[in-house]
Amino acid sequence: MGFATPSLKGRALRLLARREYARAELAAKLAPHVQANDDLEALLHELEAQGFLSDARAAESLLRRRAPRLGTQRVLQELRHKGLDAELVRTAADSLRTTEFARAQAVWQRRFGTLPADAQERARQMRFLAARGFSTEIAHKVLRAAEQAED
């Protein structure tokens, strides 16, 4: 007694039930499962029309999940990787830039919380922030603000 393979629409709905997907991302996930009588583009259009698939919601979801821990550049890279529209990425960039310093401070505080003792430790803390997508300028500001708070 074998199990029937799920329809393309069934696969899509199962994926969308777990998390939000961008249209391009869902298309890539479903492409290997397209059968001769399936029309992937029509299915994606139908899912969008019914409100199951939304690039805007996928972008919002990624921002909620990733922005508190990552810098603007890293989050934007992930948005582009999902194949999101350039206008959505630009809108996200604007909102991320306004909160980047506060997010960087929170990340630094969680990880370190104390000022670097020497130049080597300062460089390590700067690399840590840079690896998470925060700009060098923001990393400098975070450390300067921590130094000023301690004085």
pLDDT digits 0-9 by tens, 81-123: 999 999 999 999 999 999 999 999 999 999 999 999 999 999 9
What is the arithmetic mean of pLDDT over 62-91?
Answer: 95
Judge whether 29 and 15 are in contact, CB under 8 Å.
yes
Residue 79 pLDDT level (bands cut at 50, 70, 90):
very high
What's the N-to-C CA distance of the chain in angstroms? 74
Smallest CA-to-CA distance from 93 within 62, 119, 121, 124 is with 62
Give the pLDDT confidence score for residue 3 in this predicted structure.
Answer: 61
Which of the following CATH numbers is that of domain 7-53: 1.10.10, 2.30.29, 2.40.170, 2.60.120? 1.10.10
Judge whether 43 and 15 are in contact, CB under 8 Å.
no
Give the pLDDT confidence score for residue 5 in this predicted structure.
Answer: 75
Give the pLDDT confidence score for residue 6 in this predicted structure.
Answer: 83
What is the arithmetic mean of pLDDT over 31-47?
Answer: 93
Give the pLDDT confidence score for residue 96 in this predicted structure.
Answer: 94
Which tokens go with 73?
């550049």
What is the arithmetic mean of pLDDT over 129-146?
Answer: 95
pLDDT at 12 over 80: yes
More reliable by pLDDT, 37 or 2: 37
Which tokens go with 137?
């300028």
Q: How far apart are CA 112 and CA 1, in angstroms?
A: 57
pLDDT at 68 over 80: yes
The domains of the chain are located at: 7-53
pLDDT at 2 over 60: no
Share in percent of the chain as helix, strand, coil (round to 5): 70, 0, 30
Mean pLDDT, the chain, integer: 93
DSSP at 33: G
